[in-house]
A and B are shown apart, each in its own frame.
Chain A
Amino acid sequence: MTDVLPVGERRQLAPPVDDSGVLGWIRKNLFSSWGNGITTVVLIFAVGWILAGFLDWAVLTANFTAASGSECRGYGACWALIREKYRYIFFGSFPYEQHWRPLFAVIAMLAMLVLSADRRMWNWRLLVIWGVGSFVTFLLMFGQIHIPLSLMLTVALILGGAGMSLRKLIAGAGEMNAYRALAAIGLAGLALRIAGVLPGWSLAIAPLDYVETSLWGGIPVTIILATYGLAFAFPYGVLLALGRRSNLPLIKGLCVGFIELIRGVPLISLLIMASVMLPLFLPSGTTIDKFLRAQVAVILFAGAYIAEVIRGGLQSLPKGQFEAADAMGLNYMQKTLLIILPQALRVVIPPLINTFIGFFKDTSLVLIIGIFDFLNTANQALVDPNWAGFPGEVYLFAAFVYFVFCYSMSRYSKYLEVELNKGTHR
């Protein structure tokens, strides 16, 4: 029985065909022939058998409440282990009573990522979102942030300079004077600081206990490494890809050399270089945080891969697009930012997100240099002799968490493709 529809809608119904309806669909797609029918039945039984076995293990006979590993034996899945260890798996060796800090740091980062996924935010708001989000995240993780005077002055100089050059023809007199003042303060302050007139003062924001990076662990480490790794690797990769197509032989050579060198070595060797070799080359007394070194290694590595993905997009553009932009008198920057990149990046969304997903998972390689990312803390949870012998549960749990992140990225890629190609039927 079909419902009676208003005339206008009825006209839009699909024409009647033999295989309409659930039964028709099943007959057409699953049982169209004897061979097809047998395959369907066998597959349904196989899948049902596997699912039933899994359900029995994971839910029906599972133990959710055991107090130790020995109580779990003889049952199905020992989810009691996750219940016992989840705080360590999520937050690692971060001081136990302070676990709310990495929790809120993770929430801040997720909020930052979700907000910046929205296309309407792709303007000055993005800077605010990432500025605030990053500040909250690192304040929570470190507990204290010291901002040296020279850094503030440098930022003032850069902001002022950028404002002066980028908004030269758009800004009013008042805005322009503000940029000039910023740049002047930055420049004068830096000069005085170098001359030794200004002291090496720094602004301390210290509402919480300091927690060093070696105590960080679990999900915040994975998210920080992936988020900032990719956030820096992306613009860096764009520059590398543009440089590789440059007409200037030196720039081109440097970019090609860098990309090939980085792509030619495994990420693990780069991480070991950053963790073991780099300190040997630094003057004694200077230390760079191990976490930061791993982060830089991830950025360099991801940058090279992203560059090659983006180069594919650049090459897919017809020559006419470059010529039309040239003929209109656009300069290189305008041509690249307004015409070339918007089109090239649209083309490479699927492979780009593919690279992102790969790198999200590759961050787990930092365990090789003793950083406790999410997979590593999950691994460490197995070491407890009280709970020995349940690797399946822990890895399944870790896999589930990774899947949630990776699948979200994959869906976002789909959304972005549709969103950006709205109206532009090609």
Chain B
Amino acid sequence: MAANAARDLSSAASVIELRAVNKWFGQFHVLSDINLDVREGEKIVICGPSGSGKSTLIRCINRLEEHQAGDIVVHGVTLSNDVKNIEAIRREVGMVFQSFNLFPHLTILDNLTLAPIWVKKMPKKDAEEIAMGLLKRVRIPEQALKYPGQLSGGQQQRVAIARALCMRPKIMLFDEPTSALDPEMVKEVLDVMIELAREGMTMLVVTHEMGFARAVADRVIFMDRGEIVEQNEPEEFFANPRNERTKLFLGQILHHH
């Protein structure tokens, strides 16, 4: 699984830049001085103990959370309070949530075609064609006319991935995509994500699935108490963690794997 190390990303352009990003929840300093560059096609896995700010970090990138200091630049657009600006970024950035967040009152197909039709103003027929193609890719085309409540957790999360891809995003954010799944369903979702990574999608993934990190990540970032403590290529990261907190964390989670 060392194929990634060979890929040279240093020449690729930055698609996400975070400069001295800070955020507080009340008095709690949830993100402190985050600096991060994500290059095109790069896959980054972010891990860390709960409450370390990793979810907040990726949720700042598409403005589900608002940062209070610093700059976030996505695809050359600096995030601001301008609604048009935010909507433009959200069209380019897909997101997958821990709790799937499919729309329960719409069929799977309608879940997928909603954003292309209403946001991109795509003709319904074209949107459905793309949606069916994506459902085939996540291996559940036969569920297209069912409702989310009729699917298993793993199937729902695969639909959620397909739904995000339907907008043809340049960047995908995953917020603990397998944490709400029963163990036997984790693999089917990870397989889809690995496939996506191999196709060259730029991905930021918050997860504790270290097997996934080893398989596809170009870089693993460890966060604790709102700061980026350590980042490295996966082999280095797992073999020689430098920071004490990283060692402690890895010791705790790898213990069970």
Contact = CB atoms under 8 A, between A and B. Distances in A.
Interface of A: 169, 318, 320-321, 323-331, 334, 338-339, 342-343, 346, 423-426
Chain B interface helix/strand/loop/mixed: loop
A423 B103 contact: no
Nearest to A342: B105
Interface in B54-109: 62-64, 83, 87, 90-91, 93-95, 97, 99-105, 107
A424 B151 CA distance: 11
Nearest to B118: A334
Interface stretch (B2-10, B142-150, B198-206): B142-150
A339 B103 contact: yes
Contacts of A343: 103-105
A310 to B, nearest CB: 16
B95 A426 contact: no
Contacts of A320: 97, 99-101
B21 interface: no
A169 B121 contact: yes
A296 B172 CA distance: 51
B197 interface: no
A327 B95 contact: yes
Contacts of A339: 103
Contacts, number: 71
Given A328-B167, A329-B87, A423-B150, A321 B118 contact: no
B90 A329 contact: yes
Contacts of A324: 95, 97, 101-103
Contacts of B64: 323, 326-327
Nearest to A321: B101
Given A169-B121, A327-B94, A423-B147, 4 more contacts: A328-B119, A338-B114, A424-B149, A425-B147
Contacts of A169: 121
Q: Which 7 A-B pairs have the closest CB atoms?
A: A324-B101, A329-B90, A320-B101, A328-B115, A327-B95, A329-B91, A329-B119
A127 to B, nearest CB: 22
Interface of B: 62-64, 83, 87, 90-91, 93-95, 97, 99-105, 107, 114-115, 118-119, 121, 146-147, 149-150, 163-164, 167
Contacts of B164: 327-328
A420 B21 CA distance: 45
Nearest to A317: B104
Contacts of B94: 327
Contacts of B149: 424-426
A172 B101 CA distance: 35
Contact of B62 (A318, A327, A330): A327
A321 B64 CA distance: 12
19 contacts: A169-B121, A318-B99, A320-B97, A320-B101, A321-B103, A324-B102, A325-B103, A326-B64, A326-B90, A327-B90, A327-B97, A328-B119, A328-B167, A330-B114, A330-B118, A330-B119, A423-B147, A424-B147, A424-B149
B87 A331 contact: yes
Contacts of B102: 324
Given A328-B90, A424-B147, A323 B105 contact: no
A424 B104 contact: yes
A276 to B, nearest CB: 46
A343 B103 CA distance: 9
B118 A338 contact: yes
Contacts of A330: 114-115, 118-119
A327 B119 CA distance: 11
Given A320-B99, A326-B64, A328-B90, A426 B104 contact: yes
Nearest to B92: A329
Contacts of A318: 99, 101
Nearest to A345: B105
Q: Which of A169, A338, A339 has the most C-beta atoms of chain B within 10 angstroms of its own C-beta?
A: A338
A325 B111 CA distance: 10
B140 to A, nearest CB: 17
Contacts of A424: 104-105, 147, 149
B146 A329 contact: no
B126 to A, nearest CB: 14
A325 B119 CA distance: 11
Contacts of A346: 105
Contacts of A328: 90, 114-115, 119, 163-164, 167
Contacts of B163: 328
B119 to A, nearest CB: 5
Contacts of A321: 101, 103
B177 to A, nearest CB: 13
Q: Which of B64, B90, B97, B118 has the most C-beta atoms of chain A within 10 angstroms of its own C-beta?
A: B118
A325 B87 CA distance: 11
A326 B105 CA distance: 17
Nearest to A324: B101
Given A331-B87, A423-B150, A323 B115 contact: no
Contacts of A326: 63-64, 90
